[in-house]
Every structure is written in C-alpha cells, then in structure tokens.
C-alpha cells in the first residue's frame, strides 16, 4: 500500500513553500486547484474533515487548508484520513495547517487566517481554544506575531466584509507585518463559485501597493467545498 503523509512543516521551510504557492494564485486558482479557506464541524461548518478530504481528492486539489475558527482538531483528523489513502502519492493534495482567528484591527473586528504554522508552538495556544481571545491576545498585532513565531504566514481574510473598508484595513494590516490578503473571494456566494470582480480588483491593487501576497478560498461552511454555503 502506497500512502502519503500530508505536509506539516514549520519555520522558514513552510513560509518559503507557501510563498511560492501564493505567488501563483490568480482568479482561476480556486476552487479547482487551491482552496485555503475551509470549515468543518469542528467550528461552524457542516462537513466532517473526512468528507472534506474526499471532495478535495475528487477535485484534484493540489493544496488546501482547513481554517476552522480557533480550532485545529479538524486538521488532525483530516491529516490522519489523508495518510490512509492509497494510490499515487503525487495525486493527493497537500494539507497545510490552517486557522481563522478573530482580532481587533484599528478598532474593528477582523478575521486573520494563519497557514503553515506549528500547531504545537506555545505562541499559538491562546488561539486554539475554540473561542475568541481577549485583551492583548485579541489585538491583530499579537495574532500576526504568534503566527510568525510558530513559523507560519498571516493573511487578512475577506477584506471587503468588515465595518471598515479595505482602503483602511489593508494598510493597517500591512503596517503590522501581515503577509497577505484573501484577494480572491466570492462575496455574493455565487454557484459556481467565482471571485467577485469589483472587490477583487480593488483588493488586488491595494495588496500589490503594499507588497502583500494574494490567497484564495471558498470559505466553505456547507456540504460542498466548492462554494461558501
């Protein structure tokens, strides 16, 4: 039996590989090749991790991340399930550690996605307790720092969904050292999924102005990883 152990790397190795992946992201990357925003029953999604991985394999995704809110259990279950799959290892997707964390950025609650971090690192523990943090831990600068200390990358999720505009939030996040923004996102929940053109253009321009990477994901909360609900 041929199996593949899903990728779990930390530090500069993870950052380098992820940066190369994100450098290739465009409007066609998600959901047929990449999906870096997915939820399971371990936060507020409807899918079990095993079902999510089955769909990822069927779609022939190359890379994905489960980004449950303040929880990592879904990743561990998916990792074990993926490791049990047989066949050509190169045909299986790479599963990255992921998380979605609530944080305060210029007095606005935003969501920060973390990728490729070591989930056992001490800095990440406040954010893996299945609840929103408070005090200093709740500040965006603390969240970004924790993800970096754990060897990962930090990304501002869906920048056009907040009380403050992307024009306010993206420069503020860049000043705190965030690595990227979720440029390609379907704000209108279309089926089939596609990134919203107007918001994508605005956010892509802002991200490039501040030297930030682009990511993409469906933000799936339902029974299909190829759409949001």
147-176 tens-digit pLDDT:
999 999 999 999 999 999 999 999 999 999
Tell me which DSSP letter residue 176 carries: T
The answer to whether residue 187 is domain-embedded is yes
Q: Tally Cβ neighbours within 10 Å of residue 185.
A: 25
Q: Which domain holds residue 154?
A: 12-216
Percentage, residues of the chain above pLDDT 70: 95
The answer to whether residue 33 is domain-embedded is yes
pTM score over 0.75: yes
Alpha carbon of 5 to those of 67, 82, 86: distances in Å?
19, 7, 11
Q: Tally Cβ neighbours within 10 Å of residue 44.
A: 12
Alpha carbon of 136 to those of 13, 119, 140: distances in Å?
29, 20, 9
Give residue-wise pLDDT tens across range 117-128: 999 999 999 999
The CATH number for 57's domain is: 3.20.20.140
CB 31 within 8 A of CB 59: yes
Q: Tally Cβ neighbours within 10 Å of residue 52.
A: 27
The answer to whether residue 110 is domain-embedded is yes
Predicted pLDDT at 88: 79
Give residue-wise pLDDT tens across range 48-65: 999 999 999 999 999 999
Total domains in the fold of the chain: 1
State which H helix or E strand residue 102 sits in: strand 98-105
The answer to whether residue 105 is domain-embedded is yes
The answer to whether residue 6 is domain-embedded is no
The answer to whether residue 206 is domain-embedded is yes
Give residue-wise pLDDT tens across range 84-128: 998 777 889 999 999 999 999 999 999 999 999 999 999 999 999
């Amino acid at each position: 039996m041929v199996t593949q152990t899903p990728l779990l790397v930390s530090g500069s190795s993870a950052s380098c590989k992820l940066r190369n992946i994100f450098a290739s992201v465009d409007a066609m990357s998600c959901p047929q090749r990449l999906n870096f925003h997915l939820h399971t029953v371990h936060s507020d999604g409807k899918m079990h991790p095993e079902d999510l991985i089955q769909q990822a394999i069927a779609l022939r995704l190359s890379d994905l991340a489960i980004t449950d809110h303040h929880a990592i259990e879904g990743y561990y279950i998916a990792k074990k399930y993926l490791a049990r799959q047989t066949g050509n290892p190169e045909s299986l997707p790479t599963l990255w550690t992921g998380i979605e964390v609530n944080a305060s950025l210029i007095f606005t609650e935003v969501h920060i996605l973390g990728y490729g971090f070591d989930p056992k690192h001490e800095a990440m523990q406040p954010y893996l307790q299945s609840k929103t943090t408070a005090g200093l831990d709740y500040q965006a600068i603390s969240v970004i720092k924790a993800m970096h200390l754990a060897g990962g990358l930090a990304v501002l999720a869906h920048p056009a969904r907040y009380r403050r505009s992307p024009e306010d939030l993206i420069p503020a996040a860049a000043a705190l050292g965030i690595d990227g923004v979720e440029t390609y996102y379907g704000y209108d929940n279309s089926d089939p999924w596609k990134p919203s053109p107007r918001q994508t253009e605005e956010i892509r321009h802002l991200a490039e102005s501040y030297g930030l990477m682009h990511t993409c994901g469906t933000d799936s909360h339902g029974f299909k990883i190829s759409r949001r609900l």
